[in-house]
Amino acid sequence: MASEIRLVPSSGHVRHGSNIGQPLTRRDGILKVTGAARYAADNSPAGLLYAVLAVSSIARGRVTFLDVPAAKRHPSVVEVMTPAHKPPLAQDPDAKTNPFMFRLDLLQSDQVRYAHQPIAVVIAETLEAATEGAALLAPHYETLPARVGLDDGESFVPPAVGVGSPAVEAHGRVEPALARASRRIEATYETPAQYHNPMEPHAIVAVWEGDTLSIDTPSQGLIMARDRIAGLFGIAPAKIHIRSPFLGGGFGSKGLISGPQILGIMAARLVGRPVKLVLRREQMYGPVGHRAPTRQTLRLGLDGAGKLTAIDHHVKTASSSFDDFFEPAAGVSHTLYASPAIATSYDAVRLDTGTPLFMRAPGEAPGSIALESAIDEAAAACGMDPLAFRLKNYTETEPMSGKPFSSKALRECYAQGAERFGWSRRPRAPRQMRDERGFLVGWGLGTATFPALMFEAEARAVLRSDGSGAMEIGAHDMGQGAWTALAQIAADGLGLELERVEFRSGTSDLPDGGIAGGSAHTATAGMAIHNAGAAVIAKLAALAMGDERSPLFGAGNAGVVARGGRLFRRDDEERSESYADILVRAGLGEIDARGKGATDPAAQSAYAMHAHGAVFAEVKIDPDLCQMRVTRVVGAFAAGRIINPQLVRSQLLGGMVWGVSFALQEQAVIDARSGRTLNANLAEYHVPVNADVPSLEALTVEEHDPHVNALGIKGVGEIGITGSAAAVANAVWHATGIRVRRFPIRIEDLMIAD
């Protein structure tokens, strides 16, 4: 079985001084490119059996028949788990005791609530046998009509959106402001259902030894997963050990433990042997979350000078028939533009789908493409350049709350991005530019924003008598480079060169690293690591300053500085001592300390905390065939202190690619008759390839934020998406003069007569 990640670099020496800010390559890069990194499904303990899900081919109804005898007659099938034959659970999988607990499908009944819902699990000696056994079940159904679209159900106002945010919020009086406006813009924008599609599907290898459970599974939240499993099976969390050193992408889908993963644990308990369960690609379209469709209506009021007087943002979205998660798409209108009156509201329908959940930039991704398209429409109505219009309506305080921003370098983002892109050469009117082939050329802009979040975490720091150190935290790396960035913070916190620090992470027996979500992981785990380092240095300093034999004796008032494996007196750096000498003289092999990271409630209440950016896009469109190509994207982003510029650039580019995908390619196509996703595969669920994004550039704008946390970290995982999709959509309008309000933009949307 895989163990936690232990990374001690053998190369990539860092200069003396701060490790933070260095563009280091990934510490786990060689492991990944050589195939040595072991993902969950790579583990095969002795006695392993294979489990395969049988999933529903209908979206609504119930299972009336499963041919279990036929499946069990297969010579290599060991067991078939069904609603009538499964291990007992200690907790109802439909129970909800906190906002981050969602209902799971664990064979609790014969009811079918969405297509691809698990209806049985076949366990066999080989993967092939389990797959054949699942086919032999040949289910029969009693079918009800599927509800699949935003107009297929009865609308209602949801009790909350996102995680506990109000469904109706207002600042100022929108209706009178709209009535008095010199100009009014009203437009409706539609975004489709989207699915996460990480390269690594959800998988689990589960081994029971009595009431002790060992698991290999990808997780963005180890401790949350452990506690959810403990509740379902009625065992102590300490009896569960989860290993998740590497994730092949998550994008939010692995933030919470999913039903199929729990079914793998149940299967292992049923047969008393290790079990591996890996979802097929099409099975990812249902039980592990997705982004819900939205229909967003924006109403903007403007005065004669082009200043906003009102913003009304209404969202219609959907959740499943059995649970509540409503995409908080209107939240982006709370923060970006100065307006004396802002209102946001929602209504929703229940559909026969799996429950939509957190997907990269939940709320902001669909919300920003609608808001930023409407802002562009307003700029055009006022005869203003889109950038000039945004600067005209720039706000120094968060409009909805009235709070000042903890920091905001959006003006600098606009300026640097525009200069790099060449925005000043953009003609104001659409359809004015062509390239040498006669293709229409358009330039578009989108503003990016994402909240600077932070959760709670804990880390353990160790200093050893050989002069080395270690940092332990149950954190997560889903490809964003966390092992590298967090190790850089650890090295600085311990006052050691990076190659002298052992970094341990990726298992549930280590201190709780919080959740890798909301672009908050570096701040969350990083602050815990920073504080653990400070705590262990304080213990070491106390040993030295209290020992008459130490050159640091009596330095308590002046204090000490930790650097390069030594403590230096602040008032006299000629007087110093190595960590090793302090510990050896004290007769200690090592000392340790723990540190916690959490938000500062006072700062949270006093300031609005966001990262910002500006994205500029160029598209070229064949005027005869209406084929669209994004040829250039330049983004400029301000996200507080940058721990590792190379990793940050990678994250920003990835977000911008996702924005291109959102605007032009990505959608789940649902069959209105059956409720099934017709393109539940990577061949037909289109995402960009290299040819789709030939030129991407990400600029980082310097920004110091003393309020978000002691390290000044915001987050970059999701902000690249917000703004990028709208920049592409606005560029399509600038190229063609056609405003498309349904995404992704299709060729047929542009096929109208000149």
Q: Of the CATH numbers 3.30.365.10, 4.10.110.10, 3.30.200.20, 3.90.550.40, which one belongs to the domain with range 361-453+605-750?
A: 3.30.365.10
> What is the domain class of 41-145+196-284 according to CATH?
alpha beta
d(CA 616, CA 376): 13
Contact 5, 504 (CB under 8 A): yes
Where helices occur in 137-207 by DSSP H, the ranges are 174-180
Amino acid identity for residue 502 in this structure:
E
Contact 381, 185 (CB under 8 A): yes
Name the token pair of 203: 């998988």
d(CA 529, CA 534): 9
pLDDT at 556: 82
Where helices occur in 665-723 by DSSP H, the ranges are none
Name the token pair of 437: 């082939």
d(CA 368, CA 390): 14
Q: In what order do the strands lie in the sheet with 501-505?
A: 5-7, 501-505, 469-473, 457-464, 590-597
C-alpha to C-alpha distances, 145 to 59, 60, 105, 287, 674, nearest whole angstrom: 8, 7, 20, 20, 8
pLDDT tens-place string over residues 91-109: 999 999 888 899 999 999 9
- Is the pLDDT at 740 greater than 90? The verdict is yes
Phi, psi of 282 (to 5 degrees): -70, -20
d(CA 583, CA 565): 12
CATH of region 5-37+456-598: 3.30.365.10
- Is the pLDDT at 11 greater than 90? The verdict is no
Closest CA to 8 of 497, 367, 528: 497
Asked if the domains at 5-37+456-598 and 361-453+605-750 fall in one CATH topology, the answer is yes
Pairing of strands 501-505, 560-563: unpaired
Query: 7: pLDDT confidence band, cut at 50, 70 and 90?
Result: very low
Query: 584: pLDDT confidence band, cut at 50, 70 and 90?
Result: very high
Contact 445, 391 (CB under 8 A): no
Contact 38, 2 (CB under 8 A): yes
- Is the pLDDT at 570 greater than 80? The verdict is yes
- Is the pLDDT at 16 greater than 60? The verdict is no
Phi, psi of 151 (to 5 degrees): -105, 10
Contacts of 299 by beta carbon, 8 Å cutoff, 6+ apart: 174, 178, 184, 185, 186, 310, 311, 312
Phi, psi of 606 (to 5 degrees): -90, -25
Among 11-20, 260-269, 393-402, name the one with the lowest average pLDDT.
Answer: 11-20
Q: Is 701 helix (H, G, I), strand (E, B) or coil?
A: coil
Amino acid identity for residue 469 in this structure:
G
C-alpha to C-alpha distances, 234 to 94, 106, 215, 263, 266, nearest whole angstrom: 15, 15, 16, 15, 13
d(CA 309, CA 171): 12
Contact 291, 192 (CB under 8 A): no
pLDDT tens-place string over residues 294-349: 999 999 999 999 999 999 999 999 999 999 999 999 999 999 999 999 999 999 99
- Return the domain boundaries, the chain: 5-37+456-598, 41-145+196-284, 361-453+605-750
Angle of CA points 234, 238, 243, to nearest 5°: 105
Name the token pair of 197: 């599609």
- Omega within 30 of 0 (cis) for the link into 69: no
- Return the CA Rg of the chain: 27
For the chain, what is the mean pLDDT? 95
Strand partners, 597: 457
CA 134, chain centre distance (Å): 33
**C-alpha dihedral over 354, 326, 657, 629, to 10 degrees?**
90
Q: Is 524 helix (H, G, I), strand (E, B) or coil?
A: helix
Contact 49, 78 (CB under 8 A): yes
pLDDT at 17: 65
pTM of the model: 0.95
Contact 618, 442 (CB under 8 A): yes
Q: List residues with catalytic annotation.
A: 718
Note the residue count of the chain: 754
Three-class SS of 381-447: HCCCCHHHHHHHCCCCECCCCCCEECCCCHHHHHHHHHHHHCHHHCCCCCCCEECCCCCEEEEEEEE
pLDDT tens-place string over residues 106-150: 999 999 999 999 999 999 999 999 999 999 999 999 999 999 999
Closest CA to 186 of 744, 730, 739: 739
d(CA 46, CA 43): 10
Q: Is 522 helix (H, G, I), strand (E, B) or coil?
A: helix
pLDDT tens-place string over residues 337-350: 999 999 999 999 99
d(CA 350, CA 323): 9
Q: What is the arithmetic mean of pLDDT over 471-486?
A: 95
Q: Give, for 142, the enclosing helix (H) or strand (E).
A: strand 140-143
Q: How many CB atoms lie within 10 A of CB 709?
A: 25
Q: What is the arithmetic mean of pLDDT over 353-368?
A: 98
- Percentage of residues in the chain having pLDDT higher than 90: 95
pLDDT at 98: 87
Residue that has been written with the tokens 């006669």 in this structure: 438
d(CA 215, CA 124): 19
d(CA 294, CA 297): 10
Task: Tell how many helices (H) and how many strands (E) occur in the chain.
Answer: 15, 28
Contacts of 449 by beta carbon, 8 Å cutoff, 6+ apart: 332, 335, 336, 364, 368, 610, 611, 612, 613, 719, 722, 723
